[in-house]
Structure 1
Amino acid sequence: MLKIVVLVSGGGTNLQAIIDQIDEGKITNTEIAGVISNNKNAYALTRAKNHGINHVCVSPKDYATRDEFNQEFLKTMDDMNPDLVILAGFLVVIPPQMIQKYENRIINIHPSLIPSFAGKGFYGLKVHEKALERGVKVVGATVHFVDEGTDTGPIILQKAVEVKQGDTPEVLQQRVMEEAEWVILPRAIDLIANGKVKIKDGKVWIQE
């Protein structure tokens, strides 16, 4: 059984997709060990509470230094003892020591087709604003392993989404979530839970 911990800063729509697809049997061999947020008001924590899932807030605002926060964050993670960590809209930089300790065991969902509209400063609605500014015709989402760069780790899955004329950033964001994020993040978890994902020479190989 793959034990996962989901990290989330906001509403938790990707968390809900994971919960629903575990309940529906689409994600197999997986259980949620916990949910961690940096935001005590995150609706994701309410979603976790409603499903009886262990949940906690660890916020940098509550610590005098970033190092103290990082230590508490890592301790909280270790106490949950996950096999896989999922960043599902988590707006805090993951400490290097956590990336090293959980090497190739942290994955992230990013709302673009990496390497487009990725890297420092590209998160949330900003990704969709920049895509519309550039006038691209196709956007999408990417699930990738987390390394010490920003959106630079090995890509697991990607799914394209069409941009429609008249799209606003908010409308495009919703379509990317519904058509891509909520599809490929649960799929990636299921593949990992069933031993079908390998990393070789910095690239992901999927055994179907």
Structure 2
Amino acid sequence: MLKLGVLVSGGGTNLQAIMDAIDSGVITNAEVGLVISNNPGAYALKRAESRGIPAKCISPKKFENREEFYKALLQELQENKVELVVLAGFLVAIPPMIVEAYPNRIINIHPSLIPSFCGVGFYGLHVHEGVLARGVKVSGATVHFVDTGTDTGPIILQKAVEVQQGDTPEVLQRRVMEEAEWKILPKAIDLIANNRVSVQNGKVVID
């Protein structure tokens, strides 16, 4: 049974999608063992607590510097024996010390089709604002492994979502979540939990 540590900053809709997928059997051989947020007001923490899942806030504001915050985050993951770290709307860049401790064991969901609309500055609604400003006809979501770059790790799964005339960033964000994020993040976790994902020459191979 693969033990997941889910890192969140806000409402936790992707966390909910993961928990629902475990309940329904879409995700097998995995359990959410820990939820961590950098934001004490994150509703995601309440979602976890309502399921009896250990939930903890580790806020950078409580530490003298970023380095101490990262150490505390890594220690919490290791003490709870987390095997796969899932970034589900976690608005903190993961430092090399954590990436190196979990090589190809950290995954992120990004609300665009990488390599478009990704990298520094492209998070949350900024992604969808960028998509609409450029006038592209297709957007979507990507699940990828996390490396020391920003949105540069090996891509696991992608799903396209049509951009519609009259979309606002908020409307498009919701459609991308419902049609792509909430489907491919659980699917990627299930593939990893069942040993069907490997990284070869920097690219993901699914058995």
Q: Which category of TM-score, normalised to the shorter sequence, fits these structures?
A: over 0.9
Segments of 5+ residues of structure 1 without an aligned counterpart are none
Equivalence map 1:190-201=2 (5 Å): 190-201=190-201
Code of the aligned partner of 1:3: K
How far apart are residue 73 of structure 1 and its match?
A: 1.1
Local SS of the residue matching 1:152: coil
The AA in structure 2 aligned to 1:151 is: D
5 Å matches for 1:127-206? Answer: 127-206=127-206
SS in 1 for 2:72: helix
Identify unmatched segments of 5+ residues in structure 2: none
Aligned equivalent of 2:29: 29
CA distance in 2, matches of 1:72, 1:152: 25
Question: How far did 1:79 drift?
Answer: 1.1
Letter paired with 2:54: N
The Cα of 1:67 is off from its aligned counterpart by 1.3
- Per-residue CA deviation, residues 68-123 of structure 1 (Å, 9 max, x unaligned), is 11111111111111110000000111121110010100000000000000000000
**RMSD of the alignment, in Å?**
0.5
The two structures have a TM-score, normalised by structure 2, of 0.99
Aligned to 2:94: 94
Shift of 1:65: 1.0
Any idea what SS the aligned residue of 2:166 has? coil
CA distance in 2, matches of 1:30, 1:76: 19
2:79 is the alignment partner of 1:64 = no
Q: Report the residue type matching 1:37 in the other structure.
A: S
Number of equivalenced pairs: 207
Please say which of residues 179-188 and 61-70 is displaced more in the overlay.
61-70
The match for 1:54 is 54
